[in-house]
Amino acid sequence: MFFILQSIEAEELINKVQNKKQIKTKVETKGNDKTSVSKKIDEKQKLIQLKNLEIQLKNLEFEEKIGELRRKIELLRMQKEYEQAKIEADLIEFRKKRISAEKDTVELRIKIEQLKAKLEKSQQELQLANFENEKKMKLLALKTEKAKANIEQINTQAELNKYIISKKLYPDNPLKKDGTLMISDRNIKLDGFVTMAKANYVVDRINFFNNKNPKKPIFLIINMNMGGSIQAGENILKAMKSSNAPVYAVVKSVAASMAAIITTLAKKSFAYPNARILHHQPVFSLGAGMSISSKDQINELKKEYDDCLKRWLGEIAKKMGISLNRFLEQIKKNSADGNWIEYADKAKKLKWVDHIIKGTEYSINKLPDKKDYTNLKYIKEIFDAEDQQLILKKDDNGSNIYYLNSILPGEMFYVLKHSNIIVR
């Protein structure tokens, strides 16, 4: 628009210049046509006309300048209006943008509020879900505890079913009139062989039962025992004699050698009619692997062995009412190999055992577990050995050979000699 206004002003200026030239041309032409008569008048008139023309020209120039100024003023006015219009347009655009921004802000706030509402709703739903989960977990925990309690009750009941809950009896005279022996829980097993480890166990049990009750009987149960260490047997016999509570021996199957001495010298002894009691002559032999440097040392050990056994065999002879020599003669007389064995009913007459029983009543309050009854455990119990101590080999005929634990320095064994049992 500014350029259009400039073009219009230029055309008007050109027209005014052309008109001014035409006026000059006319003046010149009129001056030529007039006569010389009236030169002065004419000259004056011309001067007047010229002045008038000059005045007109000046007026035209003045008008032209005024027009120019007006055009400039108009141009400035138009520029001002244009600038103002532009400012208003910019203001309108700014207002539009501000309104759009305010709209966006409102929309953003609305979205934020919506998101806050969704978040709050989600949090409430999460809290509700957590509450429900906690409720379910508590119910599950309660059910689990209840199930555990039921299982524990079942296990407890199953465990209780393994026991007999009854009053324990400890009669001073355990032998009934019908020949039944009442064996209380104050009992100690002595099977296999008499070893130092087993003797320590037996002695500690005797002391324990004495501390618990110094009057009620203690039962030493011998199912099958082939004898063993003389020193270990002495420990057991000394504990039996020094015990305030009476220690009774009970033989079910076989009591041989050192086990027979323990049975015969007990305060009271009981045996089944078909149980066998075996006493034999002292036979000295070196254990496998024992190193003896001289014959004198062998004789010294043999003398110590014989003296030790004669003390115990002498007490047996005394109980039988005979001398030791007489007892040793009868052993030799009644057995070609020196092993005098008698069934309990006949051994009673010899005073090797005091009472013959028809049966036993055990004070067993716990149901036996089958796991405790295996051949390996039985063999370990018989030989009083751990896995690495019980050595089993084969002889030339393919029979098993069992090696007893290594004897201690000075330890001597009084055991029924058997082909497949060797003292190391």
Catalytic residues: 257, 280
Q: Report how far residue 83's alpha carbon sits from residue 364's, in angstroms, rounded to the nearest whole number.
A: 121
Q: Report how far residue 120's alpha carbon sits from residue 142's, in angstroms, rounded to the nearest whole number.
A: 32
CB 146 within 8 A of CB 138: no
Q: Report how far residue 365's alpha carbon sits from residue 362's, in angstroms, rounded to the nearest whole number.
A: 9
Specify which residues 183 forms β-bridges with. Answer: 362
Q: Report how far residue 135's alpha carbon sits from residue 154's, in angstroms, rounded to the nearest whole number.
A: 28
Residue 257: HSE in the Cβ half-sphere, 13 Å Cα cutoff = 23
Apex CA 267: angle with CA 266 and CA 270, to 5°? 70
Question: Which residues have a Cβ under 8 Å from the Cβ of 253 and sit 6 or more positions away?
Answer: 222, 223, 224, 272, 275, 276
